[in-house]
């Protein structure tokens, strides 16, 4: 509720500024139709906001002012006395906002209502000069273009910071190292603050769906509820900007094809679609789940064969999860085919490609007659991540620390091979190994090996590398589409100015 209160204060302050501007115009030109309409619109908007927040007295005054302005709207001319009075109403709104900000009682509205009543009856009114509230500049509006430019500059400062730290330590001058470390902390602090400016709550996107869902459900004559969880979680604006369309695809599919008519369901529980967000360290999972019909895997299998997406022989070897991944193939996005599999092909190729571009992925889970769940696994920010820097065949790579569980040294003679898979006995578990040198096409280096134990999606793997160099914050830059690979989530610039590729462990499955 606190976040909505702050939003109400910010929005109302902006409307009061606009109101005073239009009233000043009307004071010199009573025939300014545009300003008359804008004044009416402002009071109408503030009325709706106030009623939603429970500020009844503000809403009542705005409603009475709307009625007072009806004649001016029709005639295209406003009475000078009304303009003079509306300045007083603007002052009342300013006092009310001041009271809300400082959690005080709202100013009495009786005098304002009394004056409106007299004006409606055509009686003369007298306005006493009242002390105005001293305006506080609590917020300023900044164009996103300027914020993006500031954000890019601080990213470059982060790269320069790493280089300065490296050079100062190489030179070894104590005073220089101390000054550089101080500057480094200041740059990091500046970058953190700019990052916070870019963070927006998911409600920025989620708030669109309840009304749309309600109208669409009524159109389809379905009794179904939409539940939203985690809308207060904040993520980077660059992710917010592209979330609406993928989520709309998923919610529409859940409503259109996951939820059947109530008469066809034969279930006691009410139909429901849940839009949920959960934060896990530096990643966020946004799921759209329904308790509807689910997906018939056998139908998916048949359609994949009919559409020549896979051969009958090849599809027999696919796991349940791999069969569901076929739904992201664009050939499933036709009306005829998707109807046969609960409509899950509609837009899933778009949703999946959007998730990949954001450094994430789409996960699908389903059970016939129990429902389906589509999960977007995304990073909270696309800008900076703390990472472990390591080498394979003298080439440097980075892996985000949120994947890293532990590291240790060992000899290759300790590796065990079972069914062509290399394993390592780590305490009370058998750890599957991934030799990054082989997977990345690097030359194998003999001798002692370092193991980075990573965990993702409930799996643990040991990444076999040559040496661990450092841990530091790196600025993530997008890879060109020509070199895009699922094993890489992006690239960065190391402290010496040379580029490094960022490893995505999920791409090695």
CA distance 278 to 232: 10
Which has the closest alpha carbon to 341: 384, 398, 303, 305?
Answer: 303
Decide if 226 contacts 209 (C-beta within 8 A).
yes
In the 3-class helix/strand/coil scheme, how is 23-60 assigned residue by residue?
A: HHHHHHCCCCHHHHHHHHHHHHHHHHHHHHHCCHHHHH
Q: CA angle at residue 317 from 460 to 356, to 5 degrees?
A: 55
- Six-digit token pair at 498? 């040379």
Question: Which is nearest to 60 in space by CA: 118, 3, 109?
Answer: 109
Map tokens 């359609």 to a residue: 303
Domain ranges for the chain: 2-120, 144-200, 202-379, 384-508
Residue 397, classed as helix, strand or coil, is strand
Q: From edge to edge, which strands make up the β-sheet containing 404-410?
A: 404-410, 449-456, 459-465, 429-435, 421-426, 416-418
Six-digit token string for 288: 């759209």
- Is 302 within 8 Å of 295 (Cβ atoms)? no
CA torsion angle for 477, 483, 486, 491 (degrees, to 10)?
A: -20
292 in Cβ contact with 272 (< 8 Å) = no
pLDDT at 179: 93
| Confidence at residue 117, expressed as pLDDT on a 0 to 100 scale | 86
- Bridge partners, 468 (sequence order): 390
Reduce the DSSP state of residue 253 to 3 states and report it.
Answer: helix
2-120 maps to which CATH number?
Answer: 1.20.120.160
Q: Are the C-beta atoms of residues 258 and 292 closer than 8 Å to each other?
A: yes
Beta bridge partners of 320: none
Backbone angles phi, psi at 166, to 5 degrees: -65, -45
State the CB neighbour count (10 A cutoff) for residue 74: 8
Helix (H) or strand (E) holding 377: strand 371-379
Give me the CATH code for the 202-379 domain, please.
3.30.565.10
Q: What is the CA radius of gyration of the chain?
A: 30
CA quadruple 244, 246, 251, 254: dihedral, nearest 10: 180
The answer to whether 424 and 451 have CB atoms below 8 angstroms apart is yes
CB burial of residue 351 (10 Å; 0-12, 13-18, 19+): buried
Positive or negative CA dihedral for 480, 481, 485, 488? Answer: positive
CA of 130: how far to CAs of 51, 88, 95, in Å?
A: 26, 8, 11
> How far, in Å, CA of 392 to CA of 360, rounded?
25
Q: Using CA atoms, how far apart are residues 268 and 270, in angstroms rounded to an integer?
A: 7
Mean pLDDT split into 10-residue runs, the chain, 509 residues: 77 90 90 92 91 89 91 89 90 92 89 86 68 60 80 86 87 91 91 85 89 87 91 87 88 84 57 92 89 85 83 83 82 49 58 80 87 90 84 90 90 85 88 89 79 86 92 80 74 83 84
List the end-to-end C-alpha distance of the chain, in Å, as a whole number: 43
Question: What is the architecture of the domain spanning 384-508?
Answer: Beta Barrel (2.40)
What pLDDT does residue 397 have? Answer: 94
Pairing state between β 395-400 and 499-503: parallel
Q: Which residues contact 238 (CB under 8 A, 6 or more apart)?
A: 198, 382, 383
Residue-wise burial string across 95-119, b where 16 or more C-beta atoms lie within 10 A, e elsewhere: bbbbebeeeeebbebeebeebbeeb
Candidates 54, 46, 145, 123; CA nearest to 92 is 46
Answer for the pair 327, 300: CB distance below 8 angstroms, yes or no.
yes
Phi and psi torsions of 393, nearest 5° = 55, 45
| Residues shown for the chain | 509
Q: Which helix (H) or strand (E) holds 364?
A: strand 361-367
């Amino acid at each position: 509720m606190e976040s909505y209160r702050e939003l109400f204060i910010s929005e109302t302050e902006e409307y009061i500024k606009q109101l005073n501007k239009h009233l000043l115009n009307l004071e010199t030109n009573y025939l300014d139709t545009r300003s008359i309409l804008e004044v009416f619109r402002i009071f109408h908007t503030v009325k709706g906001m106030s009623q939603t927040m429970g500020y009844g007295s503000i809403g009542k005054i705005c409603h009475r002012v709307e009625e007072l302005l009806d004649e001016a709207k029709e005639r295209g001319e406003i009475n000078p006395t009304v303009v003079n009075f509306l300045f007083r109403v603007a002052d009342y709104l300013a006092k009310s906002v001041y009271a809300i900000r400082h959690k005080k009682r709202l100013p009495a509205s009786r005098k304002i209502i009394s004056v409106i009543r007299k004006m409606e009856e055509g009686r003369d009114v007298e306005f006493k000069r009242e002390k105005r509230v001293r305006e506080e500049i609590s917020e300023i509006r900044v164009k996103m273009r300027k914020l993006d430019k500031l954000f890019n500059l601080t990213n470059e400062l982060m790269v320069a910071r790493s280089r300065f730290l490296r050079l100062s330590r190489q030179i070894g001058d104590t005073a220089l190292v101390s000054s550089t470390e101080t500057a480094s902390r200041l740059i990091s602090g500046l970058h953190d603050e700019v990052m916070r400016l870019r963070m927006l709550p998911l409600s920025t996107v989620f708030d669109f769906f309840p009304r749309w869902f309600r109208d669409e459900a009524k159109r389809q004559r379905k009794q179904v509820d939409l539940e939203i969880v985690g809308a207060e979680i904040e993520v980077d604006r660059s992710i917010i900007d592209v979330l609406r369309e993928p989520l709309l695809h998923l919610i529409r599919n859940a409503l259109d094809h996951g939820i059947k008519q109530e008469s066809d369901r034969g279930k006691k529980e009410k139909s429901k679609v849940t839009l949920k967000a959960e934060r896990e360290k530096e990643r966020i999972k946004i799921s759209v789940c329904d308790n509807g019909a689910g997906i018939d895997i056998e139908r998916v299998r048949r359609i994949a064969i009919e559409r020549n997406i896979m051969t009958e022989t090849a599809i027999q070897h696919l796991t349940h999860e791999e069969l569901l991944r076929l739904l992201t193939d664009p050939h499933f996005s036709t009306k005829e085919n998707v109807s046969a599999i609960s409509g899950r092909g509609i837009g899933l190729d778009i949703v999946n490609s959007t998730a990949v571009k954001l450094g994430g992925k789409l996960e699908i889970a389903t059970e016939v007659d129990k429902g389906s769940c589509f999960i977007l696994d995304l990073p909270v920010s696309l800008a900076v991540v703390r990472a472990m820097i390591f080498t394979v065949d003298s080439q440097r790579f980075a892996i985000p620390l949120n994947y890293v569980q532990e590291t240790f040294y060992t000899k290759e003679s300790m590796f065990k091979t079972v069914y062509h898979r290399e394993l390592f006995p780590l305490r009370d578990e058998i750890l599957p190994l991934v030799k990054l040198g082989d997977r990345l096409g690097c030359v194998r280096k003999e001798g002692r090996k370092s193991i980075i134990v990573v965990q993702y999606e409930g799996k643990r793997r040991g990444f076999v590398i040559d040496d661990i160099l450092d841990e530091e914050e790196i600025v993530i830059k997008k890879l060109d589409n020509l070199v895009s690979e699922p094993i890489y989530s992006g690239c960065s610039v190391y402290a010496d100015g040379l580029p490094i590729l960022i490893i995505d462990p999920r791409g090695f499955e």
